[in-house]
Structure 1
């Protein structure tokens, strides 16, 4: 037995030597197996700095968007509790107004059953199907639009209601000032192809509402709405942006410092409602970054090139201005946009919001709209009142970048494409504009509406020509309050700026009437170079004064100032009153 065991062990040792002997290379030290670095090295992209990231949208979100489709919302007003102030009827909800200048206005909310369906009713598998209890709240949204008989609404789904297309907050906009009912759809659809921006998902919706509290048994057809994606924290996540980033909606922001309102949340004088007047926070109240950026913009010891390089993306800035210029969307300088900054980044990006006033040149002329824009609102001069753009546009390299972007976008949003988009949308819109309740609220005849549709595509070319013209004109400026020492009247104004550094001359007139008819003019000084003048004392009474700036090339510009009378809004002038004691008042 010993011999057999010995032979077995010897055999096992031989087999082991044979096995390991075949793998002698693997037993060598690692240093002897290493391939030279020069042969192993691969090409690796350098990691991008967070502040170098361009603004990119997730285009897959729009893959299934069909602007010719129509969905149906069914809203049952159920009312909530007095404790959370949601026990309101639909009539009470609609009584809400929040016009410009109104402060601390509390929203009027009610609880609802929100259901999504088709023309026959709620659909199985959709949000709210079979719901018997409230699953959301409803309130009127907007500011200027709250003064119209047809309202826009916001729906906030409860947590247990799920999401609709990845959204919990749902905006349905009536666009009462837009008789075409399709401008916002057009604005955000075209925006999807603009570089260095993000867009918003949009959808035509037929809304039916039943006020159960008021005893209604049937759903009432409230016509056509445009559902527009709300930019909020969930929007950032859905579009592949920084969920924890800063996001503000501009209510009236011209990028001044606003020290009395824009404060840290830890400041004892911090007031969220006053902060909201300028910028409405959408993702928390850590305002350190926005304050740092506003400080830099208003610090004229820092070159604007340094400030823009640190805090902004020039491609995003030029896309924002260029697109709104070509879409003739002037109400985009101090409001109707959002500011977004990714987490751990110093950069701020413009996000677009609200285009229902775009491409309305022909419409305003046709309808003789009293709110037709001042001449300075077209082209680059429309952004001159914003500190950021005022400083930016003084730099030729930035103006050249803007001109280049305008030319690029002009090849994307052509009149032909706009006309084709309008034709598609009308397959949905026309069925509503020709029947109640939208038909009676259009404030335009159907014949005029057809003319507007036909001429809208041409507005982008008009806007382009006005852009080119604006580069040759002096920039608008502000007039100062009138002063008097009882013996003389002093007029002064800020100097107009000219991109070509031409001399600027000023024509000054004072009249007894805003029309400045020849028989009403009481003082005139033409072709003067100084931005001030002394006027002999005038008799007590009401007066209007205006300035016209003219450069050496003969291009003219008016001030930002305006006067409102019963006859409408009059641009480029101010009013003052000479009292019996010789003092002067400057009413708004």
Structure 2
């Protein structure tokens, strides 16, 4: 839900080939892990195991499911100290083709309208070449080529409104592959002033069992726009390339390339009118992909069966999470995102994968550049955009899968144990050491134009944000612990019966201690609730009233007998201002 505005271009720096910083980071990490264990024992009273596994490879290979045994050799080329140069020449495609566009037309696309995803892809042709700061290099992708070998479009949703764009490069089959990939995502990470979070998110994940990661690479991008008559490359600055989960991804990581794979676009694990099997006469692929984008086997019956099981209240959720969703993978995925405060993972920013001959589904993470976002949001005045529930387990309460799982005491306990386990090695000390190491590579690019011009922060402000990222992990850990004892949020709704008669309703706020709950109901003609027309307290979850015709706003706040409070999960945007816990309704 972030609304930031920034843009695109940078300055040349020599490629860094030595790995001294990375080696130094590993040494610091080993030391800080030991110190953090002592600190953890002194500061926390939870009864957790004290064994720490030092080797990344050993930890990864502890993954319990044979279906998700990852081929770790896929990460052999990963080097956080390196920056690869991409040289992209943009060309207009054949007349009348889907690539018959100028680069300006490609860049003018906006894929996010009224806080919703909007598919409006415009492509041009491109020649993609890889090299170093001296230019394309022999033996690398596209060297010596003069004809286009790919398509280019803008990628991202809310980030597409920024001047600095992220790009997707689709390599032609004849072009070959770059590191086993034909779909190259170049992320500007315009909402991350540090420009290191996305790579950190996936590099840290490589040390976590049960959940696969993706490969990432820091990139310096140069673009020559032949569609505008340019004959020289322009510096587009610093990017992070992220491996896109696809059939090739599955094969590269040792998974089943013939399996099922979906990207969550706006998916809450509930049935929707647009989610249908391909053989349904009313099936609409474009409508289906507003919820789930199919990246694997073209057969939706298996994912629809999973949705039906999750929504069948007669089914034990622990039978579903175990038989149809891998339990270790699910709990670890949830724990990792909670610890990294990656709150935008409720209905998007993940993939679901299932091998062809398996009942089980697995979570594959996607997009971490909004993790550990609190300090940057505070500095930019965006903290009020978030609801009070957007932390810990309450952040996931609005999704039926997570809610059903989290209502069970033993499940919350197991999740807590997993968060504790991760926190032994992913903690303020180890994360801050990683931040400092990665920033030594990234900073020369980010503090040069074009990136610095559009950064939105001063050098000092960026330094302040960077220096606090480690502590944000600690804050997130404590926020999770607190959420285990908080009142869970609810949803609001209204029904207009005509003639001014309206029913207001809301779901029950859930209390793990079963305390009595009272609801503070406010109705006003402005979203800030400055002039309420209804201001009352209720113990039920519904009330009827009569109102004059017009536009109104509803806010319900729950409170328990011990003083715990919760607001609704709902949120509206009015004239660019977010109002958490509020919905709008009309009376006729």
- What is the TM-score of this pair, normalised by structure 1? 0.85
Cα distance, 1:370–1:471 mapped onto 2, change above 3 Å: closer
Residue 151, structure 1, aligned to residue 165, structure 2: yes
Could you tell me whether the CA contact under 8 Å between 1:57 and 1:197 is conserved in 2?
A: no
SS in 1 for 2:228: coil
SS in 2 for 1:364: helix
**1:473-514 CA-partner distances (Å, limit 9, x unpaired):** 221111121546647654221111112222222122233433
Could you tell me whether the CA contact under 8 Å between 2:271 and 2:308 is conserved in 1?
A: yes
Cα distance, 1:482–1:113 mapped onto 2, change above 3 Å: same
**1:5-63 CA-partner distances (Å, limit 9, x unpaired):** xxxxxxxxxxxxxxxxxxxxxxxxxxxxxxxxxxxxxxxxxxxxxx9635332222223
Give the number of the structure whose alpha-carbon radius of gyration is greater: 1
Residue 573, structure 1, aligned to residue 573, structure 2: no
Displacement after TM superposition at 1:533 (Å)? 2.9
SS in 2 for 1:382: helix
Residue 239, structure 1, aligned to residue 253, structure 2: yes
Could you tell me whether the CA contact under 8 Å between 2:500 and 2:548 is conserved in 1?
A: no
SS in 2 for 1:289: helix
CA–CA distance in structure 2, aligned partners of residues 104 and 509 of structure 1: 33
Matches within 5 A, 1:10-409: 53=66, 55-100=68-113, 105-258=119-272, 260-369=273-382, 372-409=385-422
CA–CA distance in structure 2, aligned partners of residues 552 and 420 of structure 1: 44
- What is the TM-score of this pair, normalised by structure 2? 0.85
Could you tell me whether the CA contact under 8 Å between 2:493 and 2:504 is conserved in 1?
A: yes
The number of residues matched between the two structures is 524
Q: 1:548 aligns with which of 548, 554, 557?
A: 557
Matches within 5 A, 1:346-495: 346-369=359-382, 372-483=385-496, 486=499, 489-495=502-508
Instruction: Tell me how large the CA RMSD over aligned residues is.
Output: 2.0
Q: 1:496 aligns with which of 476, 494, 509?
A: 509
Moved more, 559-568 or 317-326: 559-568
Cα distance, 1:512–1:274 mapped onto 2, change above 3 Å: closer
Moved more, 348-357 or 139-148: 139-148
Could you tell me whether the CA contact under 8 Å between 2:222 and 2:236 is conserved in 1?
A: yes
Could you tell me whether the CA contact under 8 Å between 1:104 and 1:273 is conserved in 2?
A: no
Residue 560, structure 1, aligned to residue 580, structure 2: no
Name the counterpart of 1:8. none
Could you tell me whether the CA contact under 8 Å between 2:385 and 2:580 is conserved in 1?
A: no
Moved more, 365-374 or 381-390: 365-374
Name the counterpart of 1:27. none
Residue 516, structure 1, aligned to residue 529, structure 2: yes
Unaligned runs of at least 5 residues, structure 1: 1-50, 578-583
CA–CA distance in structure 2, aligned partners of residues 487 and 369 of structure 1: 37
CA–CA distance in structure 1, aligned partners of residues 328 and 393 of structure 2: 16
Could you tell me whether the CA contact under 8 Å between 1:364 and 1:372 is conserved in 2?
A: no
Name the counterpart of 2:519. 506
Residue 529, structure 1, aligned to residue 503, structure 2: no
Cα distance, 1:574–1:93 mapped onto 2, change above 3 Å: closer
CA–CA distance in structure 2, aligned partners of residues 106 and 565 of structure 1: 24
Displacement after TM superposition at 1:552 (Å)? 2.7
Name the counterpart of 2:3. none
Cα distance, 1:566–1:107 mapped onto 2, change above 3 Å: closer
Displacement after TM superposition at 1:107 (Å)? 2.0
CA–CA distance in structure 2, aligned partners of residues 421 and 379 of structure 1: 23
Could you tell me whether the CA contact under 8 Å between 1:250 and 1:334 is conserved in 2?
A: yes
Cα distance, 1:292–1:218 mapped onto 2, change above 3 Å: same
SS in 2 for 1:481: strand
Cα distance, 1:241–1:487 mapped onto 2, change above 3 Å: closer
Displacement after TM superposition at 1:154 (Å)? 1.1
Name the counterpart of 2:46. none
Could you tell me whether the CA contact under 8 Å between 1:370 and 1:568 is conserved in 2?
A: no
Moved more, 478-487 or 552-561: 478-487
Could you tell me whether the CA contact under 8 Å between 2:126 and 2:148 is conserved in 1?
A: yes
CA–CA distance in structure 2, aligned partners of residues 566 and 83 of structure 1: 39
CA–CA distance in structure 2, aligned partners of residues 432 and 189 of structure 1: 20
Q: Which has the higher contact order (CA 8 A, sep 6+)?
A: 2
CA–CA distance in structure 1, aligned partners of residues 384 and 259 of structure 2: 37
CA–CA distance in structure 1, aligned partners of residues 171 and 76 of structure 2: 25
Moved more, 281-290 or 337-346: 281-290
